[in-house]
Amino acid sequence: MVAPLGPPASPAIPSGARPRSGTHHRFCPCGSPCARVPHVARLPRPPLSALLLPADLFVRDYDVSGSTSPPWTVRRVLEWTTSHLQKHGSETPRLDAEVLLAHARGCRRIQLYTEYDAELPEAVRARMRELVQRRAQLEPVAYLVGHREFFSLDLVVTPAVLIPRPETETLVIEVLAIAKTLPRPHILDLCTGSGCVAIAVARNCPGARVTATDRSPAALDVARTNVQKHRLDEQITLCCGDLFAAVADPVRFNIVVSNPPYVPTAEIAGLSADVRGFEPKEALDGGTDGLEVIRRIVAEAPRRLTSPGWLLLELSPEQAPAVRQFATETGCYTEIDLIKDLSGHHRVLRARYTGGGEAGP
């Protein structure tokens, strides 16, 4: 019988039990990458009853002969979890299993392999049972463990913020290439979320001053935690508000950068289950065509840029031509380029502002 997941009691051996052989343990009951929308095949979420794990999962069984089933070692738990998560839609089941078990043990992933045959104590097995069940329901691993690596930095993440993607590192690389040519660049990061872009830039360009904004107070709380974690309080200022309105009007910046929401509203329902079901919709939804926020930033940035100044935006490859055309039509920018990510897809718009043109309101 499959029971709801929960910390089990260790099985007791009845007094005077008679040997019996043959007892077995009942343990076995997302196209092209996008920084914001991993294009993976949609999988129907299985019914909850199919996801519940046996209450005695990862517990050693005794048969009446007094012998035990194989112990739940690091190796055995990794193998079982990998198989289980693969059946429930994970595209990276082995990696997920390693990250979750390392988190449950409070160790680094490499230690799983240096202690491959170590038997896991009950407290670790109980934590692992909960993590496996939640991951089988497609809850993102980053939310389960509470952090994600980005640009070689460990960042706190919660469901209040979008999980940083490797593709966004292209945006950071382009910002740094410009910032490092300036003596003391002043940078504005719009829609900062977890603060990943602002923090990566500040850590790699010590002379930079970064103002990071978001309209979500909950997201800014996460960003603040990360800023403090990396001891960047003196370099990064956090402001709550809608895009440029969060910053006092006279202030101008050498660089405006943003990874804004850019998924068309109608496509939200078609995202992979781990994205649409768990990540904040407000960090994804870019309006009818996905360009609502991007157009505002492109139009309003000239009022807040120095001359010369730079605008850098993350976008989806499909939107790249339309965004470049819109930037051109404003008459405010020169040197408008589309930068490819490591997968060869247009990921970043880079445009130089030198004054003139029709800036937005």
Q: Per residue in 294-335, pLDDT tens?
A: 999 999 999 999 999 999 999 999 999 999 999 999 999 999
For residue range 207-220, what is the model confidence (pLDDT) as tens digits? 999 999 999 999 99
Token duo for residue 35: 């920084």
DSSP 8-state symbol, 266? G
The answer on whether 38 is annotated among ligand-binding residues is no
* C-alpha 295: how far from chain center: 25
**Amino acid found at 20:** R
pLDDT of residue 248: 87
Residue 262 labelled as part of a binding site: yes
Q: What is the pLDDT of residue 45?
A: 53
pLDDT of residue 358: 55
In the predicted structure, residue 54 carries a pLDDT above the cut 60: no
Q: In which band, very low, low, confident or very high, does the pLDDT at 57 lie, cut at 50, 70 and 90?
A: low
Helical pair 74-87 and 93-105, crossing angle rounded to 10 deg: 130
Q: 16-25, 91-100, 200-209, 339-348: lowest mean pLDDT where?
A: 16-25
The DSSP symbol for 270 reads: G
pLDDT above 80 for 3: no
pLDDT in tens, 183-192: 999 999 999 9
260 is in an annotated binding site: yes
Mean pLDDT of the chain: 85
Domains of the chain by start residue, with CATH: 1-138 (no CATH), 151-353 (3.40.50.150)
Per-residue model confidence (pLDDT) at position 198: 99
Residue 66 has a pLDDT of 47
The CA-based angle 54-60-65, given to 5 degrees, is 120
pLDDT in tens, 101-124: 999 999 999 999 999 999 999 999
DSSP code per residue over 213-252 = EES-HHHHHHHHHHHHHTT-TTTEEEEESSGGGGS-TT--
| Helix, strand, coil percentages for the chain (3-state, nearest 5) | 40, 15, 45
SS3 98: helix
Residue 100 has pLDDT above 60, yes or no: yes
- pLDDT grade, residue 65 (50/70/90)? very low
